[in-house]
Amino acid sequence: MFRLAHLSDPHVPPETAPLRRELVSKRALGWINWRRSRHRIHRRDVLDALTGDLEHQSPDHIAVTGDLAIVSTASEWQSCRLWLQSLGPPDHVSLVPGNHDAYTRRAIPGTALAWREYMAGDPDTAAHSGFPYLRRRGPLAIIGCSSAVVSAPFMATGRIGRDQIARLKPLLRDLAHEGLFRVVLVHHTPIRTHGDRYRRMTDARAFRALLGDCGAELVLHGHEHRASLHWIAGPRQPVPVVGVPSASALEHGSKPGAQYNLYEVSGNAGAWTCRLRTRGFIGGELQELQETTLFENGQSTAPGGDFRAI
């Protein structure tokens, strides 16, 4: 059995305030928002408690689906790198960036350099640098995609883009022929959510069409700060799309406290079993929250219906 942990949106609290020259345009608005309210919600002590609990579970690999930063300044890049190192070495932790990590145009190459070993494929693969990247871990093929693009103030949209989608198509098909359990990592959800035009993946329809054509065994995302499970149609089996709340959040409003997911994968192609365990905070206590079976001996547990309608 292979055990994959997934957490997202840690929003690692910065140790120092940004330099004045860094607080221009969208960064200034984001920092004001952080200082007014968000710093009370996203707490380092919560994040450390959650990752400490995750460490006790001894997963074989850890996936992090973006939004490490707040406004993505140079000092944050280093703080987030130290946090990644606390999770594990680069070959044990797979990362994709989120919209907060791409807060400005300069932030994209900055994070790509600071966190490069965590966002690189295996050296012996064609998909080694850039996105999508590929890592083979046990029976898993971990495919890292980036939906992180610079967006206007008050916007948090993402986009996969035609180039990534074009590279993903043969990659997913080849990995299916290898009989691997394909796990796609992305920050933004490819599922339509309540018509939120300001936070959506703008090319979600094209991404869903790709999955409908090529399939995958699991799609993991963050961004919504909520726990979610949706299914979309695949060529043979429905594809589970699973979101996880922020890894550093206190319970607030309708949003849950910090959580992470642990996937236990066994079996082989055509006969996969995948169980999902969720651990996190509820009522201020960190505990086991639920257990869900996604596949049992190759059979999906998805409800009946037209999954393409999602």
pLDDT, tens only, 205-230: 999 999 999 999 999 999 999 999 99
Q: Which pLDDT band, with edges at 50, 70 and 90, does 194 fall under?
A: low
Q: Between residues 277 and 306, which one has the greater pLDDT?
A: 277
Percent of the chain with pLDDT over 70: 96
Find out whether 238 and 260 touch, Cβ atoms under 8 Å: no
What is the number of structural domains in the chain? Answer: 1
Q: What is the pLDDT of residue 308?
A: 42
Q: What is the pLDDT of residue 58?
A: 97
260, containing H or E segment: strand 259-266
Q: Which pLDDT band, with edges at 50, 70 and 90, does 141 fall under?
A: very high
Q: Is the pLDDT of residue 79 over 60?
A: yes
Where is average pLDDT lowest: 9-18, 157-166, 175-184, 231-240?
Answer: 9-18
Helix residue spans in 65-132 (DSSP H) = 74-87, 107-114
Find out whether 100 and 108 touch, Cβ atoms under 8 Å: no
Residue 52 CB contacts under 8 Å (≥ 6 apart), including other chains: none
CA-CA distances (angstroms) from residue 231 to 4, 163, 234, 242, 306? 20, 25, 9, 9, 10
Q: Which pLDDT band, with edges at 50, 70 and 90, does 127 fall under?
A: low
Other CB atoms closer than 10 Å to residue 198's CB: what's the count? 10
pTM: 0.95
Q: Is the pLDDT of residue 307 over 60?
A: no
Q: What is the pLDDT of residues 258-296, one digit of tens each?
A: 999 999 999 999 899 999 999 999 988 999 999 999 999
**Residue 257's domain is classified under what CATH number?**
3.60.21.10
Q: What is the pLDDT of residue 303?
A: 86
Q: Between residues 197 and 247, which one has the greater pLDDT?
A: 247
Q: What are phi and psi of 32, to 5 degrees?
A: -60, -45
User: How far, in Å, CA of 260 to CA of 277, rounded?
Assistant: 9
User: How far, in Å, CA of 221 to CA of 143, rounded?
Assistant: 12
Mean pLDDT score across all residues of the chain: 92
Three-class SS state of 141 = strand
Domain that holds residue 234: 2-309
Helix residue spans in the chain (DSSP H) = 26-33, 39-41, 44-57, 74-87, 107-114, 162-178, 204-214
User: How far, in Å, CA of 50 to CA of 197, rounded?
Assistant: 31
Residue 98 CB contacts under 8 Å (≥ 6 apart), including other chains: 8, 9, 65, 66, 67, 68, 147, 148, 158, 187, 188, 222, 223
Q: Is the pLDDT of residue 15 over 80?
A: no
Q: What is the pLDDT of residue 118?
A: 98
